[in-house]
Structure 1
């Protein structure tokens, strides 16, 4: 039996982690602003919702207080907002508002650091604690993205992973960064791989693939540490 905490878990990839990674008998703390539909599942997995807005600085304290003395085996930080209209053809960095840039940095970087810091005592109670941060291929070299703040934040996630791994090495906590390419995130996890593949003619990665990677990392013994996994879409020639 394992206890998880998943950040950004109301929809998309985070929701897929909540549904697909734990096994019967496990417990999952679900961090999200809105109430996740996964709470209604009856599959032998206990799910507890922590309503938290990661754009607010005190969210880490709120989450820590909610857990009280709980032991955490796996922390998955899957949070990533991007620039307004950042993936539209007309997007330009010139028009990004300073307040929006600051909020993106808070949610994507600062909240990751302070929330993990707050929960380290809970992870140290585990026999084989694991921290998994979800980055992006946008945070890799030569990704050809012009979203300055988003790209900076995903490079930062890789840096957090590197330094955090050294900090927690003596605690036996393995820290992994997974960098997915374009995901079929609009296709709900429960609709399956074939639906995700057909919706985009196989050009976007089904959520099930990333779930499989996380399950593999979680299943490893405490002697192993996967440092980083890059998983671009096969048809993405920029990576």
Structure 2
């Protein structure tokens, strides 16, 4: 079976859109979700029989379950799931409200869990399937002041992917967590990025500096969304896909730095740490 059926969240823009368009050009079937159907109308391939646009509220389990059911009804199965939807919440941890933190986790963590929970029965019945969870390099190397909420949500997504992979391995299902570096999408735009609603005076200088940095970086990120999409297509085509997939030179460099730092801490504190056993 060469042609696959893909279920992609957040497919109206960025990496999700690049992935959907490349797959449709290859003759694969794509169920694409967005908050509104209007957001998906600009996809040039939208009239293809292989394209199923879906309006989904990812915060709602019922909405997610309905979308998965419509995909099965239309295409008969789902082979690859891509949890791509998400947004960046920035602001020092002290400045973020409980509501802001929970909203960020609702989309970045609990929405993928809604998808996983309702798609797994179908994949388990098929005894095959592949789930991609798109995290970020900050979900592996998280030392970024002002990004605590986003970092924490992406670490959570990476951790649950590792656990998921262990749970479904015997069922013929695989899982991959994707760690992109900065990608040239609309991620740093107002639609994909939220600032803390209140910033105390002690943090205002740092916040202004961060705002300036983001404005300068927007549209100049090193990562190519088309190439990232192709990387995922390649990973989905092999018999033993990676559990951890890093994208871009920056992501690889930061990952190596993190691994080196952890190795140094392990070595330096090995004796004292091991001595805590009975």
Note the aligned Cα RMSD (angstroms). 2.6
Q: CA offset at residue 68 of structure 1?
A: 4.4
- Within the candidate set 225, 233, 236, 2:241 is matched to 225
1:79 equivalent in alignment to 2:75 = no
Distance 1:16 1:45, change over 3 A: farther
The equivalent residue for 1:158 is: 158
Other structure's SS at 1:58 match: helix
Other structure's SS at 1:124 match: helix
Give the distance between the partners of 1:78 and 1:60, measured in 2 at CA. Answer: 14
List per-residue Cα deviations over 1:175-208 (Å, max 9, x = no partner).
1111001110149xxxxxxxxxxx62xx520112
The equivalent residue for 2:144 is: 144
Distance 1:99 1:118, change over 3 A: same
Q: Structure 1 unaligned segments of length 5 or more: list them.
A: 188-198
Distance 1:81 1:235, change over 3 A: closer
Q: CA offset at residue 20 of structure 1?
A: 1.6
* Farther-moved stretch of structure 1 (148-157 vs 64-73): 64-73
- Within the candidate set 214, 236, 239, 2:232 is matched to 214
Q: CA offset at residue 139 of structure 1?
A: 0.8
Aligned length: 218
Q: CA offset at residue 42 of structure 1?
A: 6.8
1:108 equivalent in alignment to 2:123 = no
Other structure's SS at 2:88 match: coil
Q: Point out the structure with the larger helix share.
A: 2
Aligned partners of 2:92 and 2:145 also within 8 Å: no
Give the distance between the partners of 2:172 and 2:71, measured in 1 at CA. Answer: 21
Alignment of 1:1-239 (within 5 A): 1-35=3-37, 36-37=40-41, 39-41=43-45, 46-69=50-73, 70-83=76-89, 86=90, 91-126=91-126, 128-186=128-186, 200=220, 203-221=221-239, 224-234=240-250
Give the distance between the partners of 1:139 and 1:116, measured in 2 at CA. Answer: 19
Give the distance between the partners of 1:57 and 1:125, measured in 2 at CA. Answer: 21
Give the distance between the partners of 1:33 and 1:43, measured in 2 at CA. Answer: 19
Q: CA offset at residue 41 of structure 1?
A: 1.4
Give the distance between the partners of 1:233 and 1:75, measured in 2 at CA. Answer: 25
Aligned partners of 1:9 and 1:15 also within 8 Å: yes
Q: CA offset at residue 113 of structure 1?
A: 1.1
Q: CA offset at residue 57 of structure 1?
A: 4.2
Q: CA offset at residue 49 of structure 1?
A: 1.1
Other structure's SS at 1:130 match: strand
* Farther-moved stretch of structure 1 (51-60 vs 108-117): 51-60
Query: What's the TM-score, normalizing by structure 1?
Result: 0.80
Q: CA offset at residue 233 of structure 1?
A: 4.5
* Farther-moved stretch of structure 1 (91-100 vs 210-219): 91-100
